[in-house]
């Protein structure tokens, strides 16, 4: 891949600040891009992030930050429990008729896991990562974050990126952290693959916990702080969990997709949804669940297509490496999207540690892929299995937890 004709390199990242540091370009200031910037900054590298949006009205709802990600965030000095996050304390599973199938307390597990399983609002986590990245305090050189900077093309050998404006920026290494609809992905062999619909979509909304507690039909579902509650039928389910210091309840209502495959691949974290449609999808569920769904604010109700993608043959090419959703967009059923992006980011901080020279970058990125590829692909597969239609099978959120939450490899490796 070469630069389009007529374009010249008119901007470079200086290398004068730290003689042994690398000039790193990260495309995308999402959870993974910001985490990578922080890990690489700590190694003394000079990091520039190019982000397409203005971050004027950040959207998103709650995310799972499982033990595997919290141990890594703590290394960055980020304690997510201070971001009004909730400890995941247990789970209750109901069938569509409202019968309680099982309740799981996590008190013993919470004692055993080295780091907590937290439920955090994406906006709170994102804000804190951004603050730490650009802060003058802390280890390394503050990250330069350029907003309204959409990247359209990457040259992996020259480690240059072309922006929508036509400007070309060069670094020593380019990290594609530009999410599920990544442009950087086109720079790796086999990267012309597009995410496709999984056949499922998710309605999402938040409601104040207080509202649920005040209603006699729903109070039982919100009494326990830190409890995740699920209702499920064969091909649809509702998952509710707290965030924002138990002040809000986050709903993810997963059900069959209605759109055709062509329409399902848009970049839409904030597509408005119809409340009537939501109620219709769950019309056969128990009345108490319908009362809960009726509490959704029609104005802020969103619906997202749940996208899946074939496994990429490789995440790296010469001086370009992909991370997070750009490399392995997960279905949400294991709550590992943010966590694995953070793991990728930490791995980059290890392979591109202080003292690595520009000549060593291609082999270091290969090493990064070797470390991360199998684990991410396995979690992707587990997410597919966990989200499959249930039939007679019981839902088991914890089925793959021992593997997903594993963090010993980090404590040994770094």
Binding footprint of ligand FAD on the chain (CB under 6 A): 27-33, 50-53, 59-61, 63, 122, 150-151, 177-179, 183, 269, 324-326, 332, 337-338, 341
* 218/250 with CB nearer ligand FAD: 250
How near is the Cβ of 360 to ligand FAD at its closest, in Å?
25
How near is the Cβ of 30 to ligand FAD at its closest, in Å?
2
How near is the Cβ of 337 to ligand FAD at its closest, in Å?
3
Closest C-alpha to 325, from 349, 308, 303: 308
* 251/282 with CB nearer ligand FAD: 251
> How many CB atoms are closer than 10 A to CB 310?
10
Alpha-carbon span 113 to 407, nearest angstrom: 9
Alpha-carbon span 252 to 265, nearest angstrom: 19
Closest C-alpha to 152, from 309, 270, 3: 3
Alpha-carbon span 142 to 140, nearest angstrom: 7
Alpha-carbon span 271 to 281, nearest angstrom: 18
* 60/358 with CB nearer ligand FAD: 60
Scanning 208-360, the segments in alpha helix (DSSP H) are 209-214, 219-222, 275-281, 287-294, 337-351
Give every CB contact of residue 377 below 8 A, 6+ residues apart in sequence.
311, 328
* 145/401 with CB nearer ligand FAD: 145
* 90/339 with CB nearer ligand FAD: 339
Residue 261's SS3 state is: helix
* 293/340 with CB nearer ligand FAD: 340
How near is the Cβ of 383 to ligand FAD at its closest, in Å?
11
Element (H, E) at 227: strand 227-232
Residue 67's SS3 state is: helix
| Residue 76 DSSP class | T
How near is the Cβ of 388 to ligand FAD at its closest, in Å?
19
Residue 377's SS3 state is: helix
Are 273 and 302 a contacting pair, CB within 8 Å? yes
Which residue minimizes CB distance to ligand FAD? 30
* 18/150 with CB nearer ligand FAD: 150
Look at the alpha carbons of 17, 19, 25, 29 in this order and tell me if their dihedral is positive or negative: negative
* Maximum alpha-carbon separation in the chain: 68
How near is the Cβ of 113 to ligand FAD at its closest, in Å?
21
How near is the Cβ of 277 to ligand FAD at its closest, in Å?
20
* 269/410 with CB nearer ligand FAD: 269
How near is the Cβ of 185 to ligand FAD at its closest, in Å?
10
Tokens representing 66 are: 């499982």
Are 144 and 49 a contacting pair, CB within 8 Å? yes
* 177/229 with CB nearer ligand FAD: 177
How near is the Cβ of 114 to ligand FAD at its closest, in Å?
22
């Amino acid at each position: 891949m070469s630069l389009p004709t007529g374009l010249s390199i008119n901007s470079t990242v200086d290398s004068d600040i730290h003689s042994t540091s690398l000039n790193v370009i990260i495309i995308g200031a999402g959870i993974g891009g910001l985490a990578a910037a922080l890990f690489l900054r700590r190694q003394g590298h000079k990091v520039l992030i190019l982000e397409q949006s203005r971050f004027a009205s950040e959207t998103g709802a709650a995310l799972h930050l499982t033990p595997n990600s919290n141990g890594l965030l703590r290394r960055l000095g980020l304690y997510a429990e201070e971001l009004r996050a909730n400890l995941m304390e247990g789970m209750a599973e109901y069938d569509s008729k409202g019968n309680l199938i099982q309740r799981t307390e996590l008190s013993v597990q919470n004692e055993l896991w080295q780091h907590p399983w937290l439920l955090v609002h994406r906006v709170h986590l994102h804000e804190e990562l951004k603050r730490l990245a650009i802060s003058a305090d802390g280890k390394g050189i503050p990250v330069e974050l350029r907003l309204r900077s959409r990247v359209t093309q990457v040259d992996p050998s020259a480690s240059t990126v072309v922006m929508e404006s036509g400007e070309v920026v060069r670094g020593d290494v380019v990290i594609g952290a530009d999410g599920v609809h990544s442009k950087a992905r086109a720079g790796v062999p086999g990267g012309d693959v597009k995410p496709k619909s999984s056949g499922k979509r998710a309605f999402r909304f938040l409601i104040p916990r207080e509202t649920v507690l005040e209603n006699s039909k729903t109070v039982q579902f919100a009494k326990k702080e830190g409890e995740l509650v699920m209702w499920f039928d064969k091909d649809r389910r509702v998952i509710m969990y707290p965030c924002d210091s138990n002040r809000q309840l986050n709903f993810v209502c997963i059900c069959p997709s209605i759109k055709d495959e062509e329409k399902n691949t848009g970049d839409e974290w904030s597509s408005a949804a119809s409340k009537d449609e939501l109620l219709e999808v769950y019309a056969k569920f128990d009345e108490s669940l319908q009362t809960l769904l009726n509490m959704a604010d029609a104005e802020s109700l969103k619906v997202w297509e749940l996208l899946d993608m074939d496994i990429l043959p490789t995440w790296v090419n010469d001086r370009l490496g992909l991370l997070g959703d750009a490399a392995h967009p997960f279905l949400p059923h294991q709550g590992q999207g943010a966590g694995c992006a953070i793991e990728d980011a930490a791995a980059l901080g290890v392979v591109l540690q202080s003292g690595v020279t520009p000549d060593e970058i291609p082999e270091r990125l290969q090493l990064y892929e070797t470390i991360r590829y199998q684990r991410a692909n396995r979690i992707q597969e587990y997410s597919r299995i966990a989200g499959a239609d249930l039939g007679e099978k019981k839902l088991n959120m914890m089925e793959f937890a021992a593997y997903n939450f594993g963090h010993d490899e980090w404590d040994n490796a770094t």
